[in-house]
Chain A
């Protein structure tokens, strides 16, 4: 059934997806808020940039990241100057890449949830003497909760499922960058179809359980009267 290497890959994948999801919610929420509220002329270009990973084939994105984070790329020069070395073939390299390619899956549901609220709730809060910051924490964010939950589900699922980018910058190092999707690929390429089936089944089962849990949570929320999000 599952080898030790397979289980290691599952654990690594879980760690990666969780880290990426948390970071994406922290970084993506302010970005989504800004995109939902701004009338700036750079809203268009920024939206396009955020959505770009949807269009680019993952291996292309992975290749650019390899160059960008490499010793002669701008990011690589920066991380080396900080004494961190270069990011490819490391866990944090995967985290960084995953942040980029899962960004639209997190930003867009939150942005939609905030846009769907309209101006009214924020205006009401202002007439109740709530400052903009107060309004963000106590009105905008709680109202966007279903969208944020959706964003977390999509961000997590997409990070678990991503393969092309990881393949390009991972280097297949056990416990560091050898995630489940790469492990399955290796099994298939090595014609070890039985192991590939087992691992795929485990991955599908695991992802299904996580997604089901989150959707159940969301359903419970939405039955309390919030119907924003996707």
Chain B
């Protein structure tokens, strides 16, 4: 593979690992060119090579035919001037899937371990800022075994940040945690996303996490990148290249338009209409990201005023696709209520997952107008 000079921004690289070694059923062959800011989600089914790719980037997995440049710095090059920085000389932070605090050191000593070896001096203010960001200031005197999995992972993230990395790599940092702990830690990751200047590569096989955190998305399967692009666009496609099953849905960027204190509801408007949400404390004007799952949408020919479902949007069938499950179909819907920009091709679409029999009974075709009933809307950010 030949080494390409870097443009100075973003992360460019190429990694090739043959399928030898016994454990890998396929070769890893990845050409990377991703933004130098924000969170890039690396998403795909278990065993698709996500973690291996991350380990290659970190240098933990030796890759002879590899090249990598991060925001203009060459970390690894192939070809004639083959060269590769060892792991400990790459300015990166790594958060592992398993909580990985050193058991012989307290939480605070774990942080000191990183601080002592930081790329640049970490001031007391910066130290305080990071521990506060992760909400761990009161845990520092504890031994790791006395902390919950979520707390350990927060300390591990703070530790990774304390070396002042130029790139933060996170390998399914929530995978070893139960649902409660995941909910506990996700807000910290979102804060991290907002307050950090450096790029983050976030490996996950959970749509929920990727939907909440990622700006940019790489979809991997069998060692290759099968698709990439902005997260919202990629996650809203009916022909989503990675099979999501029950998790298939769309992401909508929305804004809080009004608050209904009598019923504790919020109204959020997006480019295809507006939706009622449970009031979870957001302020009017706040930008939010909401997720609507395909299985939560049902379709009616007439508007059903007797229904308990609050959110009903007029829509038009744009595409009908077969689902992985032969009993089900996926229907791509274009909202009709958007007033002025109704014809705009960029309007957010919805995806409904209904039985093939319903498609037949309602005689759905492209262009049919319908009402979409949305059973629930989740705010993901």
Contacts and interface: CB of A to CB of B under 8 A. Distances in A.
Interface string B52-92: 00000011100000000000000000000000001111011
A113 to B, nearest CB: 12
B102 A143 contact: yes
B58 A224 contact: no
A131 interface: yes
A226 interface: yes
Contacts of A129: 88-89, 91, 114, 117-119, 163
Contacts of B159: 128
Contacts of B160: 127-128
Interface stretch (B36-44, B93-101, B313-321, B371-379): B93-101
Contacts of A145: 104
Contacts of A127: 58, 60, 87-88, 92-94, 160
Please classify how large the interface on chain A is, using the bins under 10, 10 to 19, 20 to 34, 35 or more. Answer: 20 to 34
Contacts, number: 64
A72 B102 CA distance: 53
A225 B102 CA distance: 11
Interface string A76-118: 0000000000000000000000000000000000000000000
Contact of B117 (A120, A121, A130, A143): A130
A83 B87 CA distance: 48
Contacts of A225: 103-104, 143-145
Contacts of A125: 88, 102
A128 B144 contact: no
Interface residues of B, number: 28
B102 to A, nearest CB: 6
Contacts of B58: 127
B133 to A, nearest CB: 18
Contact of B88 (A126, A138, A224): A126
Contacts of A226: 103-104
A171 interface: no
A192 interface: no
Contacts of A134: 88, 117
Top 5 A-B pairs ranked by shortest CB distance? Answer: A127-B94, A126-B87, A129-B117, A225-B145, A142-B104
Given A129-B89, A143-B102, A143-B104, 10 more contacts: A124-B100, A126-B60, A127-B58, A127-B60, A127-B93, A128-B159, A129-B119, A130-B113, A134-B88, A226-B103
